[in-house]
Amino acid sequence: MNKVKKLLHFNIIICFFCHICLVNAKQIQEKDYSLIIVDQTKVELLKKSVPSLQLVRSDSRTSILKIENNHLEEVQETLHEESGKCGNYTYVPDGENGISGEQEAIHIMNQLAVETQIQNMNDSLKYINNYAIKRQSLINSWISKVQESNIKDVITDLSSFPTRYYQSNLSLAASKAIRERWRYIMRNRRNSSVEFFWHSWRQPSVIAMIKGKNDKYIIIGGHLDSINSSTVSDFAPGADDNASGIATLTEILRVIEDDKYEPVNNIVVIGYAAEEVGLRGSADIAKFFRQKNRDVIGVLQLDMTNFNKANPKNIYLTTDYTDAALTNYVDKLAREYLKIVPGKNTCGYGCSDHASWFKEGYPSVNPFEADWDLKQYNTKIHTVEDTLMTMNNNANHSLLFAKLGLAFVGELDVEN
């Protein structure tokens, strides 16, 4: 891994000395406004900070807002200060084949409606035979090999980038570093790939795939980007949000590779770009999978895995914008393999990349590091203080998520 570390630090140095760390997002926008979807309870709050925003439409849960691009940073800051949460809104691109942004926004709103949640839950029942616990020997072997030091090393390396803001050159360097790290892990495997998924902005997503015998997919992912909610030009180390999730995914991939495991289904590991600005990277990828009619057994989202001072031995499962059947199954996996009883969280909106898969009709689940409802989350995210030191300079809590992720992949990877 020394070669990978040297590449990572070399990329950082090059970006600093060329003075090209950040670009202004407004230079890349084709329009002077954006459409976003937020929890409808946040509209009045946003009107106070951005009086010029326009309400396009609302339903019982969400609202579509039209906002000038130069006010997007204020939206992010206002929502973060109010909730302390990640993501905070869904960015709406223009649709395809002449579909307007407003039509696309209404389509997304309908997909996120309660009726859609019920339909998605019913759709997931076709994989009910996969939702069993019967591979204890394999899973226990895997989880015994998880190492805290490996997770800590990746958190340290990734958070050493001053920022991974999606429009910065450093975000591209960070994606390259993760791509090369994952390629190194998978260097001895045939029928595998680690490639960029390019978007319309500077940072690409990174997708690693271990080819299976079937044409079905098991997906685990987390976002690569970081943000400072005060100003995007400031430092945003993003150690917890979300270097911890990427580090956890990296350790899951390492354990599976070291075991020379040959999967039945395709195992896909994704580092998403641009989550912090409206789940944009995952939206592109989930939409691509839907357009290709890919058969996805389940999606696990790891966004923030290493902070929990109030209850350091627990995990919390998000209950909205996720699949109920799959979430109940992951609860059972945690009880079986981690010997814990997970808590439950309600985001109130699509708070991370799992929501992108959910709106495309795929079963997704989001285990989280702390209790949102009791406000036990990491208050340093989106600031210069989101560092490993804030998490006691260790990756102990992420161990739980690495083990849970291995159980998720191993138990779902069976013939349906």
Q: Which residues are catalytic?
A: 223, 241, 275-276, 303, 382
Sheet holding 62-68, edge to edge: 54-58, 62-68, 33-39, 90-92
Residue with tokens 């003075």: 19
- For residues 199-236, one letter each, b for 16 or more C-beta atoms within 10 angstroms of the residue's C-beta and e for the rest, the string is bebbbbbbbbbbbbeeebbbbbbbbbbbbbbbebeebb
CA–CA separation, 56 and 104 (whole Å): 12
Sheet holding 343-345, edge to edge: 343-345, 316-318, 367-368
- 234 contact partners, CB below 8 Å, separation of at least 6: 163, 228, 384
| CB neighbourhood size of 393 (10 A) | 11
CA–CA separation, 208 and 189 (whole Å): 12
Cβ–Cβ < 8 Å for 301, 353: yes
Token digits of residue 151: 């997770």
Partners of 196 in beta bridges: 206
Cβ–Cβ < 8 Å for 354, 321: yes
CA–CA separation, 71 and 310 (whole Å): 35
